[in-house]
Chains A and B, each alone.
Chain A
C-alpha cells in the first residue's frame, strides 16, 4: 500500500508526540497518516457530477492537523458529497484527495479509510440501543476485531480507563450502565461521537451534529468540540449559524460545489458574496 513507508516511520514516534499536536509544534506525527507538512486533508480540484449535475466543481480544501473547521453552505452546495469523497463512498471524476502526505483517499475502500483514521458521524444517530452506554463504547474500541480474538476478549484495566475517560469526555459518565436506547437524542449524538473517538481516528467528520438538539445540549456539544480540537482534527458541517459562530476557528463556505469564501467567522460574516448567497435566496 502507498502509505506503508509512512507507517513504519511514524510508529517509532512516542505516542504523546502525535497525540498532542500543539505541544509538538509544526511537526505532527500520527500513526499511519503523515502530517509532517501540517496539513491532514488535501482536496485539490475535485469534481463530482451526477447525471450532469455538478455536485462538486473543482473544489479545493486544505485542513491542518488539529484544526476545528466548520463547513457551511446552502442546500445543494456539495457538503455531503464532499464528505462522501473523503470517506470513499463517492469517487471523484477529477481531482485528488489525500489524507496526510501519502494516503490517497480516492484509491481506498470505505473500511480502509475508516481504518486509516477517518471517522464519520452521520446525521441520524445510530447506536446499539439495547446495549449499555459502556458496552457501546467497548464494542467500538480499537482492537483486534476478528471473531476468535473477540470471543476471548477480556476488558483490562487500561481499556476500562479509556472507556471511562471517553465517558467523561462525552459527558455520559453518569449514564454508563443505561441502555443506549434510553438516552435523549442529544446524548445519543454524543455517544456516537464517543464511539468514533474509541476507534482512535485522526480526523472526525461530523454531519450536522447538533441537528435536533436542545439549546442546552447544543451548548454542551460546542464545549465538547472545542475541547476535542487540537487532539483531533474536526470537520463540522452545520446549518445552525449560531452554533458555528460559537465554535468556529476557521469557516469554509461552499456554494455550488466549490469554495466561495474561507476565513474567520467575522471575515465570513462581512463577505459581500456570502451575504448575497445566504440572504439572496
Chain B
C-alpha cells in the first residue's frame, strides 16, 4: 500500500515535510469541485429539459446516492486500508445515521400522511397513540443531526472499546461486526422496535421546510453531499499524512512493535474506528433524503460486504481509490440491475475475484504503477 508514498523525500540533502496534497493533487481536487458544484447544477437547473445535455432527476439522485457510498468507502479505507481492520458491519453505522435523519423526515411529514395523523402512518397502523420516548425531540433538525453523529459514534466507541481491549483481530473482528449488523437488522425488522419494521421510513414530504422532490432541493442535497465528500477527503488525507496516520499503518504492519515503541494501539484503533463510523453515519443521513427511503435491508450483511468490495476495487490505502471504486462499482450496478438484473451478483463476485487476483492494489494501483513506469 502507500505507506511509503508518504515518506519524506531527500531533496538537496534536506528532508521535505509531507504535503497535504501535491500541486497536481490540488488541481484534480479543484477540478472535482468545479464539476460537482458548477457543472452538475448548470446541466440540471439551467440547461433546458429538452436539450441532450440536460441531466435529469434520475442522474442527480443517482450521483448523489453514489457520493454517499463514496463517503462510506472513504471511511472504510481509514479503518481497513490504513489500519488493517476489516469491518463487515459498516452498513450498520450508515443505516443508523440514515434512521436518525429519517426520524426527523418522518416528523416533518406532519399531517400529510395517508392517515392524516400527527403520528407516522406505520404507528397509526400499529394503533400507537403517541411517540415512543426515543422519538422525543426528533422534530428538531439539529437534535436529529446530533443523533446522526452520536448514535453511530457511541455504538462504535463502546463496541470498539471492548473488542479492541480484548485484542480481537483479523477475521474474528470481521465476523463479529457482521453478526452485529445482522442482529441490528433483525431488531429493526420488528414492528415493535418503533422504526417502521420492514418498510422502514419512506414517503418523506419535506426537509427543513423545502419540498423534498423539488429540483432545487435535490440540487441542494446534492451539493451538500459533494461538499461533505470533498471535505472528508481532505480530513482523511490530513489524518493519514499526520504522525497518527503513520502509527495507524504501523499498527497494520507490526502491532507488537507499536506497543514496544510506547503507543497503546487500543486508543489509536478506537479513534479511527469511531471516526470511521461517524463518517458512515453522516453519509447515511445524506443518503436518506435523496433516495427517499431507509429500511432494515441497509443493515443486511451483504450491504456491508459490498462496501468492502468498493474499497478493494478502488485500492486500499489510497483514499481516492475507494472513492472511485464506489463510483465505478455503483455505476456498473445501476446499469446491470436495469439491463441484466439477475446477473449483477455474479458480476460483482467476478469483479472482486479478478481484482484480488490481478489488481491487488485496485484501480489506484493500476494508476500508480502507470505513473511510476511511463
- Measured CB to CB, the residues of A under 8 A from B are 111, 114-115, 120, 126-132, 134-135, 138-140, 142, 145-147, 150-153, 155, 160, 176-177, 179, 195, 199
B256 contacts partner chain A, Cβ-Cβ < 8 Å: yes
Contacts known (A132-B4, A134-B15); A199 close to B257, Cβ less than 8 A: no
Is residue B17 within 8 Å, beta carbon to beta carbon, of the partner chain? yes
Name the contact of B246 in the complex, choosing from A120, A126, A139, A160 (C-beta under 8 A): A139
B249 x A150 contact (CB < 8 A): no
Question: A266 CA to B7 CA in the complex, in Å?
Answer: 48
B8 touches A139 (CB 8 A): no
A114 touches B267 (CB 8 A): no
Contacts of A145 in B (CB 8 A): 261-264
Q: Is there an interface contact between B244 and A127, defined as CB atoms closer than 8 Å? A: no
Q: Is B175 interfacial (CB-CB < 8 Å)?
A: no
Give the residue of A131, A155, A199 whose beta carbon is less than 8 angstroms from that of B17. Answer: A155
Minimum Cβ distance to chain B for residue A114 (Å): 7
Chain B nearest CB, measured from A97 CB (Å): 20
Are B7 and A179 touching (Cβ within 8 A)? Answer: yes
CA distance A176 to B11 in the complex (A): 12
Determine the distance from Cα of A167 to Cα of B186 in the docked complex, in whole angstroms. Answer: 57
* B242 at the A interface (CB under 8 A): yes
| Given A131-B246, A131-B249, A147-B267: A140 touches B261 (CB 8 Å cut-off) | yes
- How far does the alpha carbon of A111 sit from the alpha carbon of B266 in the complex, in Å? 14
The CA-CA distance from A132 to B7 in the complex, in Å, is 6
Q: Is the CB of B253 within 8 A of A150?
A: no
B250 touches which of A114, A139, A160, A179 (Cβ 8 Å): A139
Assembly CA distance A82 to B189 (angstroms): 59
Closest to B16 in A: A177
Please provide the chain B residues from 13 to 50 with a CB less than 8 Å away from any CB of chain A in the complex: 15, 17
Q: Which of B8, B17, B243 has the largest number of chain A CB atoms within 10 A? A: B243
Q: Which of B243, B259, B263 contacts A138 (CB 8 A)?
A: B243
- Neighbour of A150 across the interface among B1, B9, B243, B254, CB < 8 A: B243
Q: What are 22 A-B pairs at a CB distance below 8 A?
A: A126-B254, A126-B256, A126-B257, A128-B257, A130-B4, A132-B7, A134-B7, A134-B8, A134-B15, A135-B7, A135-B246, A139-B243, A139-B250, A139-B261, A145-B262, A150-B243, A150-B247, A150-B268, A151-B242, A176-B15, A177-B10, A179-B7
**Is the CB–CB distance between A128 and B253 below 8 Å?**
yes
Is B271's beta carbon under 8 Å from chain A? yes
B260 close to A (CB within 8 Å): yes
Chain B residue with Cβ nearest A126: B257
Q: Which of B's residues lie within 8 Å of A, judged by CB?
A: 1, 3-4, 7-10, 15, 17, 239, 242-244, 246-247, 249-250, 253-254, 256-264, 267-268, 271
Question: CA–CA, A111 to B259, complex, Å?
Answer: 8
A152 to B253, CA, bound (A): 22
Bound-state Cα–Cα, A135 to B257, Å: 14
B8 and A151 within 8 A (CB): no
Q: How many Å lie between the Cα of A120 and that of B260 in the bound state?
A: 9
Q: Which residue of A lies closest to B2 (CB)?
A: A130
Q: Which residue of chain A lies nearest to B259 when distances are taken between CB atoms in the complex?
A: A111
B25 to chain A, nearest CB (A): 20
Q: Which residues of B contact A155 (CB under 8 A)?
A: 17, 243
A23 to B180, CA, bound (A): 62
Question: Chain A contacts of B15 at CB under 8 A?
Answer: 134, 160, 176-177
> Closest approach, in angstroms, between the C-beta of A109 and any C-beta of chain B?
12
- In the complex, the answer to whether B261 meets A199 with C-beta atoms within 8 Å is yes
Q: Are A115 and B243 within 8 A (Cβ)?
A: no
Q: In the complex, are the beta carbons of B261 and A195 less than 8 A apart? A: yes
Q: Which of B7, B244, B254, B256 has the most CB of A within 10 A?
A: B7
Chain B contacts for A129, CB-based, 8 A: 253-254
A120 to B17 CA separation, bound complex (whole angstroms):
31
A133, closest chain B residue (CB): B7
Chain A residue nearest in CB terms to B251: A128
Expressed in whole angstroms, the minimum distance between the Cβ of A193 and any Cβ of chain B is 13
A127 B246 Cβ-Cβ under 8 A: no
Q: Which of A135, A160, A179 has the most CB of B within 10 A?
A: A135
User: In the bound complex, do residue B246 and residue A147 qualify as a contact, i.e. CB atoms below 8 Å apart?
Assistant: no
CB nearest neighbor in B for A178: B7
Give the distance to chain A from B77, nearest Cβ to Cβ, in Å: 16
Q: How far is the CA of A128 from the CA of B255 in the complex (A)?
A: 9
